[in-house]
Structure 1
Amino acid sequence: MSLPLVTATRFIAPLREGGSLPGIVEADDLGTYVCKFRGAGQGLGVLVAEVIVSGLAELIGLRTPRLVEVDLTEPIARYEADEEVQDLLNASLGRNLGVDFLPGSFGFDSSVAFPEDVAVRVLWLDAFTANVDRSWRNPNLLVWHGDVWVIDHGAALYFHHAWAGGITDPQRFADQAWSIDDHVMAGYVDRLAGVADGLAELVTDDALAEITARVPDEWLVGPVPPEELRAAYGTFLRARLDGSRGWLPKRGAA
């Protein structure tokens, strides 16, 4: 099932965080979204990772904002006064990623009571997808209506950055260790073994196929056609699940 498609009607403001310069936009469905732009320096792979890891988060019972495709047209850029933002908008005409804006949400910090079952699922998700961007400096977690929501997964699934010359060997990703150092949920590592098998069982081949099907063809740019790239994501993730699982951090590793 593909992502819902909306058309941006107004650019509201940039979010000057990190290097990608996302922005808040309004759309023709009356929704407000944090837009991740295809023209940002990190490339289309970041958008692909956002979709796939968000889908995996939902699959294992984590809350993550609704995603849509945002069609960005030339007039949106024409009326933007900030030259840097205008350049980014002009480089991003077409389909971009929209993340549902959660009004009134705030960033997670140590003062927030974090449910243990949620913390362990976040830790497992990040280890499985090799996400290196959930530290105390940048937790990429929001608190909204008392619940914790996981966001910003573009740094995960790093293996696709090596696909310019062809699909690489999935076994390397399957065996690649993941460092728990500096992870915001490192204190829950000793509880991970008790849930790891149950979470892995949720990631079936059918689930992977459904999640990767959400990625638009035009974001799947590489040395092989989109369908082959889409299948490769499933192959790499399946290899990581079915391998030795040396990527799972162990008790005493924090």
Structure 2
Amino acid sequence: MRTVHALRYVTPLREGGSLPAIVETDDDGMVVLKFRGAGQGPKALIAELIAGELARTLDLPIPEIMFVELDREFARTEPDPEIQELIRASEGLNLGSDYLPGAINYDPAAMPVEVELASRIVWFDAFTSNVDRTARNPNLMVWHRKLYLIDHGAAMYFHHDWDSAGEACTKPFVLIRDHVLLPFASCIAGVDEALAARLPPQEIERIVALVPDAWLVNEPAFQTPAMYRQAYVDYFVHRLRVRAAFVQEAIRAHAAHI
């Protein structure tokens, strides 16, 4: 992953509680910036990074993810005190994704999704326990007639309670029943083996290793960032081994929509 530096705050995206923003960066690009100092804290960025890079490994359509270096002086030109405080609390390394100008929110009534792609996305969201891909809030964008997955900060809810993460790992993801693409996902069993094969332990380790030490803090369950990282690796490696639970639940949920 590459690192860019934020140069100019363009506009806030007042969606949810994290106050992401569009910023201009030193590579002449525009990114949607997620702030480490937002109310959801570093775990939202960890989920965004790990789930996003898992999606990329699975060859799912996702905007480029990058680290964004933020200087606290960036806040001086921002008139909104709330945003000033957010910027100062996020000094250092944050996370951004490529801004897709002119992209529109996905509407399932206007754009049915091809069966294999829908099945792969449903599999992925069941694997990562993403609660935020519903008809009310699909977190899917259409850009140049192509679907893109965005905003994975609400995935991986297990890391908000590490004491029960081991148990959560083996459970089906029952909220997959609300997935916006579930009605199109008729070949979940057919994509299962190929998707799992793309995520050997060494690939999961590579992705988790991208998480900066500065984000792996204030978690009582772990004494060091290395221990913290290993817990993510162990969770996902084991979840793939027992994936029949979430795969079968997704298949049952799809059948209920027919």
Q: What is the TM-score with the length of structure 1 in the denominator?
A: 0.92
Alignment of 1:90-239 (within 5 A): 90-110=88-108, 111-163=110-162, 168=163, 170-179=165-174, 180-221=176-217, 222=219, 223-239=222-238
CA RMSD in angstroms, aligned pairs only: 1.5
> What SS is found at the alignment partner of 1:246?
helix
Q: Give the stretch that moved more between structures: 215-224 or 72-81.
A: 215-224
Contact 2:6 2:25 in 1 (8 A): yes
Aligned amino acid, residue 234 of structure 1: V
Share of identical aligned residues, percent?
44
Aligned amino acid, residue 156 of structure 2: L
CA distance in 1, matches of 2:42, 2:18: 11
Aligned length: 248
Superposed CA deviations along residues 39-74 of structure 1, whole A, max 9, x for unmatched, are 111110110111111111111111111111111112
Q: Give the stretch that moved more between structures: 131-140 or 236-245.
A: 236-245
Q: What is the TM-score with the length of structure 2 in the denominator?
A: 0.91
CA distance in 2, matches of 1:60, 1:44: 24
Aligned amino acid, residue 25 of structure 1: V
CA distance in 2, matches of 1:224, 1:115: 45
CA distance in 1, matches of 2:179, 2:208: 26
Change (3 A) 1:184 1:226: same
Query: Which residues of structure 2 form unaligned runs of 5+?
Result: none
Alignment of 1:67-106 (within 5 A): 67-106=65-104
> What SS is found at the alignment partner of 1:69?
strand
Post-superposition offset of 1:113: 3.6
Q: RCO higher in 1 or 2 (8 Å CA, sep ≥ 6)? A: 1
CA distance in 1, matches of 2:53, 2:79: 35
Q: Give the stretch that moved more between structures: 145-154 or 126-135.
A: 145-154
Contact 1:14 1:22 in 2 (8 A): yes
> What SS is found at the alignment partner of 1:237?
helix
Contact 1:171 1:240 in 2 (8 A): no
Aligned amino acid, residue 243 of structure 1: V
CA distance in 2, matches of 1:7, 1:194: 42
Contact 1:189 1:253 in 2 (8 A): no
> What SS is found at the alignment partner of 1:142?
strand
Partner of 1:19: 17
Contact 1:171 1:239 in 2 (8 A): no
Contact 1:70 1:95 in 2 (8 A): yes
Aligned amino acid, residue 187 of structure 1: P
CA distance in 2, matches of 1:236, 1:189: 25
Post-superposition offset of 1:174: 2.2
Post-superposition offset of 1:244: 5.5
**Runs of 4+ that moved beyond 6 A:** none
Q: Give the stretch that moved more between structures: 82-91 or 118-127.
A: 82-91
Partner of 1:35: 33
CA distance in 2, matches of 1:243, 1:233: 16
